[in-house]
Structure 1
Amino acid sequence: MNRALIIQLTRFGDLVQTKRLVLTLQNRNFEVHICVDRSLKDLATILYPQANIHAVVAHGTGIKGRGFDSALPVNLSVFTTFKNLAFSEVYNLNFSPMNYAVASLFDPDTVKGHRMVNGQPMKSPWFDLAFRLAAERRNNINLVDYWAALSPEMIPAEKVNPLADPKGGGIGVVLAGRETRRSLPYEVFAPLILAARSVNKCKKIFLLGSNAEREAGRKLQAKFPASVSADTTNLAGRTDWQGLVGVVSGLDMVMTPDTGTMHLAAHLGVPVLGFFLSSAWCTETGPYGTGHTIIQADTDCSPCVESQPCYCNLKCLAPFKEPGAARFIATRKPEHLVSGLSVFESACDFLGTKFIIKAGNDVTGERRERIRQFIGSHLGILDIGRHGPFPDLAEKFYREKDWITLNRGVILP
């Protein structure tokens, strides 16, 4: 049996979003190994029970309470294990120094994604193209599909996650994401939660997050009427990975910004009602699969770059403060949606997960669909003779060194 290693050393959400690549490799009869930061080892084991999980110390200064030197024997042991395993394919999904260090253990010819060649960082041709495509972020593809397309024979998108369906256990509320301005302040979030609860059969609410969000959960709960507060449980900081999976798996809905818990809900087939603003854009990092809803802030400056300051006074937050936002959540009627917001629902197509406009505006929708066909033809999923040609897109996104015309008429780098 062939072996494949996936190096995924980033965050909770990224680990979940590696799922299509994992399933594709397993479908190709690979024995799949995943290298993760040790903080995510237990989660990786839950998500991918048929994979072999290898945990390294990738972040911080070592094992807590034991200093930097404590990381060395842990990592050396994992690297020695890798040396004794013959990986025919290695997928390095990110470009952190640690990712490159692990990828450098292997012959560059076996590494896909980010790799080191003669001491120089390089990207696989698909990643080179995908970086150029990311210049049009509103028309970008889902991160799940970006990683999965490193492998041939991707499994169909609809086989990745279950169809989203309410489970009967109430509403989960993710209190905050990693970036503050991508999350709704508790005073803005509260009326939206109450609107969703008013039309949900089960009235229980579960507040989800890390221990750092526990106080925010208390403040949010204080905004609820006493009867609603009595039905609310603040679980922030009180669940391990298994406990979080147990809670989320039984919910009717998860209300959330762009977070790892959002991707976990999609993994479990629990409907997501997502709130995307600032640098978050649903076509890039929205929940994977069919049956999820994103309320997207749609301003002339969005999506922005999260590493840069906001010079627009967070105007993308303003529409969520309007009473009409809560009214729309309760009724789901397009005429109730306020200006500055658009509503998208997730679906699956030939390429992966896409988002379809249901209310508001989608000024780049036609171009996004054309770019999806261009990518599908590039990857050999679609027949370029039927869907192309794409002279304008090829001129913009291809470079001279990329052009190789295969005899079946598909252009690949």
Structure 2
Amino acid sequence: MKRALVIQLTRFGDLVQTKRLVLTLQRRGFTVHLCIDRSLEGLARIIYPYCEIHSLIAHGSGIEGQGADTVLPVNYEIFRQLAEIDFKEVYNLNFSPMNYALSSMFDPAKVKGHKRVNGQVMKAPWFELGFRLATERRNNINLVDYWAALSPDMIPAAEVNPAASPGGGGIGVVLAGRESRRSLPYEVLAPLVMAARSTNKNKNIFLLGSKAERDAGRKLMAKFPASVAESTTNLAGETDWKGLADAVCGLDLLITPDTGTMHLGAHLGVPVLGFFLSSAWCSETGPYGKGHTILQADMDCSPCMEAGPCYNKIKCLDPFADPLTVRYVATRKSEHLSKGISVLESDCDFLGTGFVLKAGNDPTGERRQRLRKFIGCHLGLLDIGEHGPFPDLAEKFYKDKDWITP
């Protein structure tokens, strides 16, 4: 039996976005083991029922209220279990201290991604290139494809998630994401939700989020007319992982910023209407698969780095508050779109999931397509004789050592 270990110790959305890599490894004949943060164990068992799950405490949230006297024994036991398994390949997807500690348990020749070799921190050549590609964030590739490309013989992108299709279950609204500037205030979100509802056959609305968004849900409902509020259910803080999956499955539409629930919706084949602003850029972290729509704020300063202050008074929020954008959501006519927003729809190609302009502007679209072909040739997915050469891109993204080392 061939076994592969995937170490994914980050958050909700990242766990879902590991799906193409996991499915690829399974198709290659591996039994896949997933090492994750304990807080995500329930979700991992829903999304990856055929994987072996190993959950440790990576973020201090796996066992509420417990300190190092609990964390250390739990993690030691997981380390011990993993050390006893003969893994043929190990995929270490992140570069936290815990990730490096785990990867150091295995022969470096087996470890793909981030690892230590003789005490030196190293990245796989593909990750080295990926970090350079990320300097062009508007043209970057989807994170799902970035991780999956660590393995040879990636499964086709169209086989990862179902093509999005309305399920008849009404509209889900994700109230907020983990990064506050990526989310729409409830007074901006309310008219957009009502515009989407106006064209949907099932008028029921379900508000989704954590306990921290419960009050935001109440405030959003207060902005609705009484008839709309009566058909709205505030589920924020009311669902466990299974309850969240059940609430999302079968919806007609999921309205959301860049969130883990968005990726869960794509996993389930629910059409996403995503509002991307601030540091969120759809080519990097948009919903995976075919049939999703993103309203992308497009400013001269976007995408930004949310860790730093905004010196522009979050001007990328303004187009979402424009009545024209509300009208566009209701009509989907390009003449009703506010300046500062581009509308892009997801599709699958030779490389993975990309986004195609439907309304607004996409000044880097041509370069993004050229860059995708460059990456496709680099990964052996395309014939460089047919699609290349790429002297300008090679000059920018390749380094001397790429030519002189394997």
Shorter-normalised TM range: over 0.9
Give CA deviations for 1:313-371 in whole Å, capped at 9, x if unaligned.
10000000100011000000011101000000000000000000000000000000000
Aligned to 2:185: 185
CA distance in 2: counterparts of 1:221 and 1:104, whole angstroms:
50
Taking only aligned residues, the RMSD between alpha carbons, in angstroms, comes to 1.0
Verify the 8 A CA contact 1:5 1:90 in the aligned structure 2: yes
What is the Cα deviation at residue 65 of structure 1? 2.7
Aligned to 1:407: none
Residue 35 of structure 2 aligns to a residue whose secondary structure is strand
After the TM superposition, which residues 1-400 of structure 1 pair with which residues of structure 2 at under 5 Å, given as runs?
A: 1-60=1-60, 63-400=63-400
- The one-letter amino acid paired with 2:170 is G
TM-score w.r.t. structure 2 length? 0.99
CA distance in 2: counterparts of 1:281 and 1:133, whole angstroms:
14
Deviates more, 1:200-209 or 1:93-102: 93-102
Give CA deviations for 1:208-246 in whole Å, capped at 9, x if unaligned.
000000000000000000000000000000000000000
Residue 403 of structure 1 aligns to a residue whose secondary structure is helix
List gaps (5 residues or longer) in structure 1: 405-411
Verify the 8 A CA contact 1:170 1:205 in the aligned structure 2: yes
Verify the 8 A CA contact 1:273 1:292 in the aligned structure 2: yes
Verify the 8 A CA contact 1:62 1:69 in the aligned structure 2: no
CA distance in 2: counterparts of 1:284 and 1:271, whole angstroms:
18
CA distance in 2: counterparts of 1:63 and 1:277, whole angstroms:
33
Give CA deviations for 1:65-105 in whole Å, capped at 9, x if unaligned.
33211011111111111111001110010111111111111
Residue 71 of structure 1 aligns to a residue whose secondary structure is helix
- Closer, same or farther: CA 355–77 of 1 in aligned 2, 3 Å: same
Verify the 8 A CA contact 1:212 1:237 in the aligned structure 2: yes
Verify the 8 A CA contact 2:38 2:62 in the aligned structure 1: no
- The one-letter amino acid paired with 1:249 is C
CA distance in 2: counterparts of 1:229 and 1:98, whole angstroms:
45
CA distance in 1: counterparts of 2:329 and 2:386, whole angstroms:
40
CA distance in 1: counterparts of 2:251 and 2:63, whole angstroms:
34
What is the Cα deviation at residue 64 of structure 1? 2.0
Verify the 8 A CA contact 1:166 1:253 in the aligned structure 2: yes
Give CA deviations for 1:178-222 in whole Å, capped at 9, x if unaligned.
110000000000000000000000000000000000000000000
- Closer, same or farther: CA 235–61 of 1 in aligned 2, 3 Å: closer
Deviates more, 1:339-348 or 1:305-314: 305-314
- Number of matched pairs: 406
Verify the 8 A CA contact 1:62 1:68 in the aligned structure 2: no
What is the Cα deviation at residue 143 of structure 1? 0.1
CA distance in 2: counterparts of 1:367 and 1:66, whole angstroms:
50
CA distance in 2: counterparts of 1:166 and 1:199, whole angstroms:
13
Residue 317 of structure 1 aligns to a residue whose secondary structure is helix
- The one-letter amino acid paired with 1:100 is Y
CA distance in 1: counterparts of 2:331 and 2:59, whole angstroms:
44
Give CA deviations for 1:115-167 in whole Å, capped at 9, x if unaligned.
01111211000000000000000000000000000000000000000000000
List gaps (5 residues or longer) in structure 2: none
- The one-letter amino acid paired with 2:376 is G
CA distance in 2: counterparts of 1:329 and 1:224, whole angstroms:
17
- The one-letter amino acid paired with 1:114 is H
Verify the 8 A CA contact 2:95 2:114 in the aligned structure 1: yes
CA distance in 2: counterparts of 1:278 and 1:62, whole angstroms:
30
Verify the 8 A CA contact 1:62 1:70 in the aligned structure 2: no
Identity %: 72
CA distance in 2: counterparts of 1:101 and 1:386, whole angstroms:
43
CA distance in 2: counterparts of 1:117 and 1:325, whole angstroms:
52
Residue 195 of structure 1 aligns to a residue whose secondary structure is helix
Give CA deviations for 1:245-281 in whole Å, capped at 9, x if unaligned.
0010021000000000000000000000000000000
CA distance in 2: counterparts of 1:300 and 1:82, whole angstroms:
47
What is the Cα deviation at residue 62 of structure 1? 6.8
Residue 315 of structure 2 aligns to a residue whose secondary structure is coil
TM-score w.r.t. structure 1 length? 0.97
CA distance in 2: counterparts of 1:385 and 1:41, whole angstroms:
46
Aligned to 1:409: none
What is the Cα deviation at residue 61 of structure 1? 7.4
CA distance in 1: counterparts of 2:107 and 2:248, whole angstroms:
41
